[in-house]
Structure 1
């Protein structure tokens, strides 16, 4: 994985296009900005109940976007990350429809998890209370089979997403088939989507248990043997992320986005600097993704203290709602379908009240923090909340999943804040020091992040009390100072 900034995008939403069109945008409007691209689900179909994360056929590219050769063509030029959806597939899949038609006589019966397969002696109230589910309601959905009998299938996320039994031969064959498709199509980075939910065991939370770690480890080794790197996608307590990082190639730094917001809102960088001192180094950093802004990653879980206190979490969430003029409140929790218990749905730009200086400070810290940065397409373009789309679909996360045209990209690329962000991306991609050693100093809410390699050195200094930030670069005995506020002014002229 190149140590360059990477783009996260839906193929069809960034330029209302297909895979060929996306490659064209990467090579023109976004030329020289990104070393790789995370292609959010491009499988058949891209417009299911969960924006492609409920594939009917995980091994097939949606024909409206192209085919595997088009994926391979992008992979010839860029790193490609793709989602291996390990936990579930669509209830509309051929396999599940066969199960509904033939019941236990179907060759695919063992591909799916039922309540009975995990709890053959019945599910006790005690065991049910232990199960962790990221959304309200039961984790089981009752389906009627063709013979009139009923079966309760495990549905961690929605009733249309039927959980896979990854222990069976059918489950293993399904995942191996997708891995081989990736390998043949030059996908070299695999995001293990919802991997923490894949293993269910009676008497446990059925989330990130010991057996989950073993499963992720086995899957990572299989991908590694094919020359692919794995990235575990898990929203959980920050100590869980530290644990996971020891067992996989890479993890997300999901604690960074809420901690940066907290620091900018409270003018207090202590929680942020503490996290950066202990955070995994083999990570991918994000501020925004196709999901909401994670809260659980910085907060307390059960009796485990968080990086932020409950009061600080409440203030963080309320500040986002206030900065977005209540728009995030309309897209979060019970206000919208497809809800998550641990996220706030809002663009990162609107979470900061569209404050350009705060936004550029947040991006600067992301680029200087340990890890490889990814920038979501709406974050790149400083897009506001997509309220019209949200009002049309009533799906909370659509607030940050707009459909854009090439003309929208061209227009947004002229915004001063976007021009300044692109300059920061170029710095992150070209300064040699980012391949060296990281060090940090924090005093009186002034955070200093430094990278050093031989005669190359880059330092970001942010005073969270005054919102003043500057970058100092020393390379080939040349010194450059960049004041973030002046960078914005330069592009506003």
Structure 2
């Protein structure tokens, strides 16, 4: 595919949907029909289209591509992506750290070893530690799972310790190899040609491995991030970097790319609503960069490492102390009826040691008021808000899917067809969330200046643009919120119950 498609004018940054097309609409074209149809029309301005490459249903839910340059034909084709991008801002993943162990390139390497023209694409322990590795070297490698990141695999007539950061199904790439660089560039050009607005650099902190380091977010990693960001910009796309790490590293990363995730927000909101203590969240509001994509839930679990102390390099304190993090984890287990314990840590396969697997709605005990308050806190926090499709429908933990696959994250990856969406929209909490999203998209104050305050269990967040104003007053103990805003005539409006929509219409808002 050629260079960047003609770019349409960029709209103000409203709320985006995070979605697997096969789990919400069945195909890319089906997703577009759902977004444009009566159920979701005018709710979202953008879509993070989770991996739709060949295959979308591999060992890691599409994050183990066999062919990253092609749309899985079961979901559609590049024309379907282009059609979606003509109406919505589209975010798509670039998976530069690894590819599938079933890819043609790696299978040829397995068969022919170093004689394969593709062998240089793949990292082994020996290709990084050319002088050998000590026990200290190996234990210094930072990995999101227990154990060291190598898998013994055939390599021609012999065997090699292949670098596998995540699972044995995902073999790590040497991004400095010429063929790998050409492959990644082909992926970028394909996405740009389909009209994609933003690329998400999946697991980018692990991409470069350097002997004698933690092999995570090193200076060489930052060089790669600068390089791929520059190339994406040449092709007309913005860059979102994904890295679960200490908050200070997130702040530093924010200066290198267009967007970073605010992964500290989800656990901080839970801690605030569990304990009534708003101080850690207020502290973070004063530290965080503004170019954040805000989330409460994603296709992964709820991370806790992002609010904890640094786990490599200098031992910096986190936003929360270890006992406060324990309160979050145990609070989730208590409110989700122990279901999350079944899907987290070593209780289920393919999970990270620093994430708790649950839907956010279940993490809040299916309390409608607290769930809407959590969303209000997210939408009033500066940045680009994204809502995961399960969270959009206030979804419950999918124990049947977990039992079927044994994959912990699948507890939060249920499948919803159009009738399911219609059924969920009849629930007041879902209807109210839609109203809250429309409010965040429509009110002009959210393009202005942000301020926050409060003390103890009360947090206030205010956006102001000229005479336009929107204020959230959150009572963390009561789990209730009040929103005041100016309508299009400058009159001050107020709602003290987010669960009773419609508490505004688009005509009420200042235009």
TM-score bracket for this pair, using the shorter chain length: over 0.9
1:431 aligns with 2:440: no
Alignment equivalent of 1:223, drawn from 232, 236, 249 = 232
Q: Are the aligned partners of 1:360 and 1:484 in contact in 2 as well (CA < 8 Å)?
A: no
Q: Are the aligned partners of 2:59 and 2:169 in contact in 1 as well (CA < 8 Å)?
A: yes
Aligned length, in residue pairs? 489
Q: Alpha-carbon deviations, 1:52-78, whole Å to 9, x = none? A: 000000001111001001100000100
1:93 aligns with 2:106: no
Q: Are the aligned partners of 2:15 and 2:387 in contact in 1 as well (CA < 8 Å)?
A: yes
1:140 aligns with 2:145: no
Q: Alpha-carbon deviations, 1:311-353, whole Å to 9, x = none? A: 0001110000010000000000010000201100000000000
Equivalent residue, structure 1, for 2:189: 180
**Superposed counterparts of 1:354-393, under 5 Å:** 354-393=366-405
Equivalent residue, structure 1, for 2:78: 68
Query: Deviation of residue 486 (structure 1)?
Result: 5.6
Equivalent residue, structure 1, for 2:477: 465
More moved, 249-258 vs 109-118: 109-118
Query: Deviation of residue 153 (structure 1)?
Result: 0.9
Equivalent residue, structure 2, for 1:315: 327
Give the Cα separation in 1 of the matches to 2:327 and 2:48: 32
1:20 aligns with 2:23: no
Query: Deviation of residue 467 (structure 1)?
Result: 2.5
Alignment equivalent of 1:306, drawn from 315, 318, 322 = 318
Give the Cα separation in 2 of the matches to 1:364 and 1:480: 16
Q: Are the aligned partners of 1:417 and 1:488 in contact in 2 as well (CA < 8 Å)?
A: no
Equivalent residue, structure 2, for 1:267: 276
Q: Alpha-carbon deviations, 1:456-493, whole Å to 9, x = none? A: 111101121332311110144122112135636989xx
Moved over 2 A (4+): 465-468, 484-491
**Superposed counterparts of 1:2-401, under 5 Å:** 2-15=12-25, 17-28=26-37, 29-147=39-157, 149-302=158-311, 303-401=315-413
Cα 1:195/1:422, change in 2 over 3 Å? same
SS in 2 for 1:487: coil
SS in 2 for 1:165: coil
Give the Cα separation in 2 of the matches to 1:359 and 1:122: 52
Flag structure 2 segments of 5+ consecutive residues without an equivalent. Answer: 1-9, 505-511
Give the Cα separation in 2 of the matches to 1:471 and 1:487: 13
Query: Deviation of residue 14 (structure 1)?
Result: 1.1
Give the Cα separation in 1 of the matches to 2:210 and 2:293: 30
More moved, 461-470 vs 379-388: 461-470
Q: Are the aligned partners of 2:165 and 2:172 in contact in 1 as well (CA < 8 Å)?
A: yes
Give the Cα separation in 1 of the matches to 2:339 and 2:478: 28
Flag structure 1 segments of 5+ consecutive residues without an equivalent. Answer: none
SS in 1 for 2:22: helix
Give the Cα separation in 1 of the matches to 2:490 and 2:41: 29
Q: Are the aligned partners of 2:372 and 2:499 in contact in 1 as well (CA < 8 Å)?
A: no
CA RMSD between the two structures: 1.3
Give the TM-score taking structure 1 as reference length. 0.97
Give the TM-score taking structure 2 as reference length. 0.94
